[in-house]
Chains A and B, each alone.
Chain A
């Protein structure tokens, strides 16, 4: 008859108790959060009486997992950025040019002079040789530059596509190499954004790659999306270029492969530079605020070995010539090279204030983003609005809960009370699971929980209605309960599986807050089925075993 084996009973009870214990920290959200913050700080080695007292707000032995509050509940900024991955192709091609030039120059006798031709597509390197008869040989030499791909997906392919077109040699990255480059660009961008966001030290930022070329950035507690954009969007792209000449006229035409940048400090002074940098900021390993020999704020920097080598070679060959330090398309300074700089370190002087030199050092250290970014979506939610939503959601949830509990008790009497106990455990379970998997609660997520409160009783209603029906025909209360459960089961499972399918699709295809809703709805379905077929059943069985009623009042 109504039998549940002992181990099953124990398992159900243990699961319920665990859920309750893990849900409790969310009731004391603020305390537990301060405790967690203090613990995190103390792990880094800090230890002050204030931290001790913050930590004491919540016992160390108790579970301290909390639900993350989404941006719409906590306030903060959200950005969806698209990384211009194709920018990097042009950089790669630029870096290739000196290599091509040197290779071909070695064969000057057959190929003649070598020139880089302007190209519409910055990702294509066009090279012309003056001796048309040597073109074929030049082409063959250029082909030796291509190397087999190292990645698994690119096996059997080479990294460069080299072809002949109209008497020019065309060099471009191969499709496989472009994919590999995109991947690298994305992981670099992610890392740099993460470091920059971490510099401000905010709580649990979300920085995620989305699709092929997008990055989602959510930072709770930051003032506005504009602020966040300034933080991550400041490129701080540092490059060192050979100086061709200076000019006073911004409109002056420059030769191909040369660029003109304004000076940062001197009004009306423009520098004409070689477009291809000698070294760039990616090769920087460190930058610190410093002072020059005259005691003025400056930034000292150090290159990695490859950068140091390139920098050393260049300075050795160009003693007495000026070279320009360029930050974000502005010339910071253009000192004359005094001597061969071999150690790979140097100092940037300009008319900086101490704050500016500190800021510059941070930006340089964090590294330049390898490519530009377009912001496709940006949202700012004020903390007050978030708090309002939390408060409103709480009140609504409590009222909804109270109304449903009362309604169930009125409709089904004692059985209704049992369903209510199961409902409360059910809500605790949702919170417990959400906190321990580090789930995020959003405003639609609260709606999902409230909806679950309404729908969670459905499985119980199905069973109780079925038991009522069976009571009219079956032999006794025990048999009616058993049949009620048995016959309601297929409806419960079918109905909840179909609803779960829609929640899963919502989760798979939705984003942001919609996803938050799908999670709470999906979890709610699982826990409500569990609570209906295990928890209420166990309580009913326990009650039945004690009382052995002859009739049921349902």
Chain B
């Protein structure tokens, strides 16, 4: 008895409704940008500066009480949120308290911290502070800059590599798919107001890597089939390639999702945001390989003398007979 996700022979018309699917991607991207510009992102202290305190208590949380206790200290904007985790019992109540960056000082001063901790303990003597993190405005500004550079550098490197290995149309298609994935991820973080910190940038780059992996496998098959079936129509060859790789695409996406979902459920709340970004990325990355990358290549058209002693033939790793 063998588990098979897709039958041996499929003949789905992926490229047929391209206006619909590509249009859907475009609409989602626009919505994401609208969300980003109207709601903004819920930046963590890595990017905004400030202090984040994680508290644990055996008594039920009293968020209003915490707020009232800290308010007289005049520390400006304070955000208090409860942390949920299915593995925590009623004896374990976790919250994070975020205090904005203070004028005139880089990291938070120990005096302020002592005051905050004392004020909170007055509300709930069982409180413990399991982590305290403080980032000064100087570093946070640099971290934003570095994050943007990292994503841009990854995109540029990929553009060049695929251009060298395939054709420029493929490179553009792949990068468009990656931009699509990044925008959609930023969109979902903006709509759900999930905390966006340094780890999410790592997740974004991983999504870039994963989506690319997927796109390249599809492209590789297209390259092979374009050489094999020189006379056939481009759309037909693309459909054939997508059908041939469909089983692998779903298989890999599913195994990755299985691993990620177990991490999401069981891995603890500290990395849940990070894992959520990756799960989302696997889904949109798989979608964009077909409906963004391939569609763009189709619209741009490809030179069909590929591999005919052409300049790209020598750069292939494996020969196809």
Question: Is residue A447 within 8 Å, beta carbon to beta carbon, of the partner chain?
Answer: yes
Stretch of A97-105, A157-165, A295-303, A449-457 with 4 or more beta carbons under 8 angstroms from chain B: A449-457
- Binary per-residue interface labels of chain A (364-394) against chain B in the complex, 1 for a CB within 8 Å, 0 otherwise: 0000000000111111111011001100110
Contact B154 A502 (CB under 8 A): yes
Stretch of A87-95, A236-244, A484-492 with 4 or more beta carbons under 8 angstroms from chain B: A484-492
- The chain B residue with its CB closest to the CB of A500 is B209
Could you say which residues of chain B place their CB within 8 Å of the CB of A453?
259
Question: Is residue A254 within 8 Å, beta carbon to beta carbon, of the partner chain?
Answer: no
Which residues from 173 to 220 on chain B have a C-beta closer than 8 Å to any C-beta of chain A?
Answer: 198-199, 201-202, 205-206, 208-210, 212-214, 216-217, 219-220
From residue B12, how far is it (CB to closest CB) to chain A in Å? 16
Question: Is residue A518 within 8 Å, beta carbon to beta carbon, of the partner chain?
Answer: yes
- Binary per-residue interface labels of chain B (95-139) against chain A in the complex, 1 for a CB within 8 Å, 0 otherwise: 000000000001110100100000000000000111111111011
Contact A396 B158 (CB under 8 A): no
Could you say which residues of chain B place their CB within 8 Å of the CB of A465?
245, 247-248, 251
Contact A451 B259 (CB under 8 A): yes
Contact B135 A392 (CB under 8 A): no
Could you say which residues of chain A place their CB within 8 Å of the CB of B319?
486
Choice from B4, B5, B244, B260 contacting A451 with Cβ under 8 Å: B260
Contact A495 B260 (CB under 8 A): no
Query: How many Å lie between the Cα of A498 and that of B5 in the bound state?
Result: 27
Query: How many Å lie between the Cα of A459 and that of B255 in the bound state?
Result: 12
Interface class of chain B by DSSP: helix
Contact B216 A491 (CB under 8 A): yes
Could you say which residues of chain B place their CB within 8 Å of the CB of A393?
263, 267-268
Stretch of A59-67, A261-269, A508-516 with 4 or more beta carbons under 8 angstroms from chain B: A508-516
Contact B210 A455 (CB under 8 A): yes
Could you say which residues of chain A place their CB within 8 Å of the CB of B291?
none
Could you say which residues of chain A place their CB within 8 Å of the CB of B216?
491, 494-495, 498
- The chain B residue with its CB closest to the CB of A448 is B206
Question: Is residue A517 within 8 Å, beta carbon to beta carbon, of the partner chain?
Answer: yes
Question: Is residue B91 within 8 Å, beta carbon to beta carbon, of the partner chain?
Answer: no
Contact A80 B139 (CB under 8 A): yes
Could you say which residues of chain A place their CB within 8 Å of the CB of B208?
502
Question: Is residue B257 within 8 Å, beta carbon to beta carbon, of the partner chain?
Answer: yes
Question: Is residue A543 within 8 Å, beta carbon to beta carbon, of the partner chain?
Answer: no
Contact A486 B318 (CB under 8 A): yes
Q: Number of residues in A with C-beta < 8 Å to the partner?
A: 80
Which residues from 405 to 454 on chain A have a C-beta closer than 8 Å to any C-beta of chain B?
Answer: 407-408, 410-413, 443-444, 446-447, 450-451, 453-454
From residue A119, how far is it (CB to closest CB) to chain B in Å? 26
- Whether A410 contacts B8 in the complex (CB less than 8 A), given A454-B255, A490-B317, A502-B158, comes out as no
Could you say which residues of chain B place their CB within 8 Å of the CB of A487?
224, 318, 320
Stretch of A18-26, A130-138, A173-181, A222-230 with 4 or more beta carbons under 8 angstroms from chain B: A222-230
Knowing that A378-B133, A410-B2 touch, tell me 10 more A-B residue pairs with CB under 8 angstroms. A379-B134, A399-B262, A399-B266, A403-B262, A407-B255, A410-B3, A411-B3, A487-B320, A502-B154, A553-B2
Residues in chain A within 8 A of chain B (CB atoms)? 72, 80, 82, 224-226, 229, 374-382, 384-385, 388-389, 392-393, 395-397, 399-401, 403-404, 407-408, 410-413, 443-444, 446-447, 450-451, 453-455, 457-458, 461-462, 465, 468-469, 472, 486-487, 489-491, 493-499, 501-503, 505-506, 509-514, 517-518, 521, 553
Subset of 27 A-B contacts with CB under 8 Å? A226-B113, A374-B136, A376-B139, A380-B131, A381-B131, A392-B87, A392-B266, A400-B258, A404-B255, A407-B3, A408-B255, A410-B3, A443-B271, A461-B248, A462-B248, A468-B8, A487-B224, A487-B318, A489-B318, A495-B216, A499-B209, A499-B213, A501-B154, A501-B157, A501-B158, A501-B161, A521-B209
Which 4 residue pairs of A and B lie closest in terms of their CB atoms, listed nearest first? A392-B268, A454-B256, A454-B259, A400-B259
